[in-house]
Structure 1
């Protein structure tokens, strides 16, 4: 199976959301949005935290207060700086004006940065109700939004529902010749946590075939321990440590992914394994 890694930078203006086509507004006769759009495009080359960047977007909003793009673009700097209150006001306005364009982004941010799992679920499910096509991926390209939704259900304790959502989306991903970087790992951990150990091993094996990670071998080791397969328990931990030290582990530049582990976790488990 072809393994694809989507390389997207979360907060880059040029990649988080496609640059708007100002000429389309002109074509349809919406002159105010056309002028607002042209003004907003003047942010190109300006640092997101600069006064010029924010002033240009304020001017675009003045031209057309119903144009969503400037609100969204302004919000980015506030999220990066930690001013979450202002970010929320701006992104909420963008969602109000263009829900299809921004619900997925807001839902992903709610999951990734705020652990607002119920809010993320609401946004993703609302987006899904508004469109008749695939709702797409998270802003960093790591997850399909349905995988993120499944992880949110896991976080609020609805693990069986999470399993179904993630398993169904993996099936659809495979049909599209795409496998998320951590999809099988998360599903395997869910099966482990619900004591379906054989299915867990199956998922961890598939994860190793697509993106071999320290986390995968660590959770595989825990599964073997539950099955009293102690030799494989220790061997998997040794492999987990090797992968971790070699840099083959879950990573995100902005937050700690769900199911991420640390070297200390592996070494503590190895101490236990060596006592047996």
Structure 2
């Protein structure tokens, strides 16, 4: 099973936001954007927090105030530095001038950094309504945007809606043999939360087969506890701490993923006298 859990850096230019082809603007006769694009490409070699980097992009925007790439590129440093107000103003401009190109990114950032779940849902659903192709992955490559949307619905306590969305996307992912690294885990937790215990066990076992992590065994243990299977509960718990210490756990360098557990959670569960 392949995983779309690319170890890419979140903010530098990725394949999702590759540098634009300036010659394409020239080919289609948009000379203003061509000039703005050529100017924007002068950021190459400049640090994102540097005055030079920002000045080049300001000059690009002066040439063409509708050049979305320049707004997006400027916004990166503000998001990194925690100036979320300025980031929002800039990314909103990028979305306004190129919604298909930036709605997915803004929606993902709303989910990952701001816990703005309703805003993220709105952006992802808007993108889906605008395009006739697959809306693609989150910026960090961990999730399909529909999985992220499902997690947003979970966060606003609409678990059944979340299950419907995530089940549908996992089925599509399975057809492509390209399931996300944590997809089964999240679905299993949703089944656990909605008392669909047998489905939860089945789904956690799929996660085990494809990407075993501490969180998976932890929630599987809780499921067996609900099913009154103490031997399996204890067996899973014995694996959890070992996996966690080995570093086989959920990881994101920028935020804490949903359904992540900590050593304290494991140790508290191990202290319980469940027979």
> Is 2:231 aligned against 1:231?
yes
Find the counterpart in structure 1 of residue 117 from structure 2: 117
Find the counterpart in structure 2 of residue 8 from structure 1: 8
Find the counterpart in structure 2 of residue 99 from structure 1: 99
* SS of equivalent to 2:48: coil
Output aligned runs, 1:234-245, within 5 Å: 234-245=234-245
Q: Is the 8 A contact 1:3 1:179 kept in 2?
A: yes
Q: Normalized against structure 2, the TM-score is what?
A: 0.98
| TM superposition shift of 1:6 | 2.5
Find the counterpart in structure 2 of residue 221 from structure 1: 221
Q: Normalized against structure 1, the TM-score is what?
A: 0.98
Q: Is the 8 A contact 2:4 2:142 kept in 1?
A: no
Count of residues in correspondence between the two structures:
275
Unaligned ranges ≥5, structure 1:
none
Find the counterpart in structure 2 of residue 212 from structure 1: 212
Output aligned runs, 1:190-201, within 5 Å: 190-201=190-201
> Is 2:261 aligned against 1:258?
no
Find the counterpart in structure 2 of residue 162 from structure 1: 162
| TM superposition shift of 1:16 | 5.2
RMSD between aligned residues: 1.0
For 2:135 and 2:199, the matched residues in 1 are separated by 28
Output aligned runs, 1:148-159, within 5 Å: 148-159=148-159
Find the counterpart in structure 2 of residue 268 from structure 1: 268
For 2:127 and 2:146, the matched residues in 1 are separated by 11
1:13-70 alpha-carbon deviations (Å, 9 max, x no partner): 3455111000000111111100100110111111000000000000000000011000
Find the counterpart in structure 2 of residue 89 from structure 1: 89
| TM superposition shift of 1:182 | 0.3
For 2:202 and 2:248, the matched residues in 1 are separated by 20
1:117-170 alpha-carbon deviations (Å, 9 max, x no partner): 000000000000000110000000000000000000000010000001000000
* SS of equivalent to 2:38: helix
Find the counterpart in structure 2 of residue 136 from structure 1: 136
Find the counterpart in structure 1 of residue 61 from structure 2: 61
* SS of equivalent to 2:186: helix
For 1:168 and 1:262, the matched residues in 2 are separated by 30
| TM superposition shift of 1:3 | 3.8
For 1:175 and 1:12, the matched residues in 2 are separated by 31
Change (3 A) 1:186 1:136: same
For 2:3 and 2:50, the matched residues in 1 are separated by 39
For 1:49 and 1:157, the matched residues in 2 are separated by 38
> Is 2:52 aligned against 1:41?
no
| TM superposition shift of 1:212 | 0.5
Find the counterpart in structure 2 of residue 74 from structure 1: 74
For 1:124 and 1:5, the matched residues in 2 are separated by 20
* SS of equivalent to 1:208: helix
1:48-100 alpha-carbon deviations (Å, 9 max, x no partner): 00000000000000000011000000000000000000000000000000000
Unaligned ranges ≥5, structure 2:
none
* SS of equivalent to 2:272: helix
For 1:108 and 1:165, the matched residues in 2 are separated by 16
